Amino acid sequence: MNINKAIIEKLAEGDHNAFHQVFKAFYGKVYYFALGFIKNQTDADDITQMVFTKLWMKRSMLAEVENIDTYLYTITKNTVLNFISSNKSHILDIETIKNLREPSPSQQEQVEAQDLQILIDMIVSNMPPQRQAVYRMSREEGLTNEEISQKMGIQKKTVENHLNLALGDIRKMLKILILLLCNWV
C-alpha cells in the first residue's frame, strides 16, 4: 500500500481511516524490525503496539515529517532501546545491533551505526584478554563454543561463561549509554 503525503496530512489532522492505512502498511515492517532485536513474539507485538500508539499521540507533528518510513523506523528503534533499558528484555542480539541498517540508511544513521560499532569495539578491547579472545572468536570469526574450547584448550562451559560475561558487559554499557542519552535529551 502506498502511503502518500495526503494520507500523512489526514493522519496529522486525526483521521482514523488514514491511521488505519498507515497501520496496515507498516505493521509488519515495524513488528519484524522489533522481533529482530527482542527475539520474543509477544514482546515484539507489544513494542509494535507502543510504536503505533506513539504515532497516534504525536500525529500533529507529522505535518513536518518528510519520510514516514524513516520516522517510524526511528520511533521503533527508540522504543526497542527503551524496552531493553527497562530490563523487560533478557535477550539482546549484539550482532543485530552491529548490523543495524534500514533499506537505504541516511548518512546520520550510518554515522550512528559506526558509532555503535566503535562503542562495542571499545567495550570489547577493555575486557580481560581471555574473555576478549573468546568474544572475538565467537562473534568475529564465527566459531562455535566447542571450536573455541578446543582452540583455547579450555572447557566448553568456560567458553560459555566468558561469552555470557562479555555480552553482559556490552549490555550494561549500552544500557548506561541509553540512560545517559535519555537524561541528556
Domains within the chain, CATH numbers bracketed? 1-91 (1.10.1740.10), 92-185 (1.10.10.10)
Find out whether 85 and 43 touch, Cβ atoms under 8 Å.
Answer: no
At residue 6, what is the residue type?
A
All three cell numbers of 40, joined, read 520474543
pLDDT at 89: 42
Segment holding 46, helix H or strand E: helix 41-57
pLDDT band of residue 165 (cuts 50, 70, 90) is very high
Please state whether 30 falls in left (phi above 0), alpha (psi between -120 and 50) or beta: alpha
Residue 180 C-alpha cell reads as: 545517559
What's the pLDDT score for residue 173?
Answer: 81
User: What is the Cα 113 distance to its own chain's centre?
Assistant: 11
Q: Is the predicted pLDDT of residue 88 greater than 50, yes or no? A: no
Among residues 67, 66, 52, the alpha carbon closest in space to that of 18 is found at 52
Average pLDDT over residues 1-11: 83
Longest dimension (CA), the chain: 65
- Which of these, 169, 104, 88, lies nearest to 131 by C-alpha position? 169
pLDDT for 93 equals: 55
**Length of the chain, in residues:** 185
Q: What is the mean pLDDT of residues 75-79?
A: 89
Average pLDDT for 72-76 = 90
Query: pTM of the entire structure?
Result: 0.48
Q: Which residue has the cell 550494561?
A: 172
Residue type at 92 in one-letter notation: L
**Measured CA distances, 155 to 57, 84, 106 (Å):** 53, 31, 44
Give the pLDDT confidence of 31-53 residue by residue, as tens digits: 988 888 888 888 889 899 999 99
Average pLDDT, the chain: 82
What was the pLDDT predicted at 131?
92
Rounded to the nearest 10°, the torsion over CA 96, 106, 87, 171 is 50
Looking at residues 159-180, what average pLDDT do you find? 84
pLDDT beyond 90 at 152: yes
Inter-CA distances, 89 with 24, 37, 62, 71, 106, Å? 26, 9, 30, 24, 28
